[in-house]
Structure 1
Amino acid sequence: MTELDPNLHHPTRLTVLAFLSGCQEAEFGAVRDYCQVSDSVLSKTAATLEELGYVKAKKGYVGKRPRTWLAATRAGRAALAGHLTALQQLAAAAAEAAGADR
Structure 2
Amino acid sequence: MRRRLEKIERGIELQLLTKNQAQVDRAQGDAVAKLLVALQASPTALVHLGSVLIVKIDGVPLVRNLTQPEIAMLDRDPSLPDNPRSVFRALSDAAMAPPEPEAGKP
Quick check: TM above 0.5? no
* Max Rg structure: 2
TM-score interval, normalised by the smaller of the two chains: under 0.3
Q: TM-score, normalization: structure 2?
A: 0.26
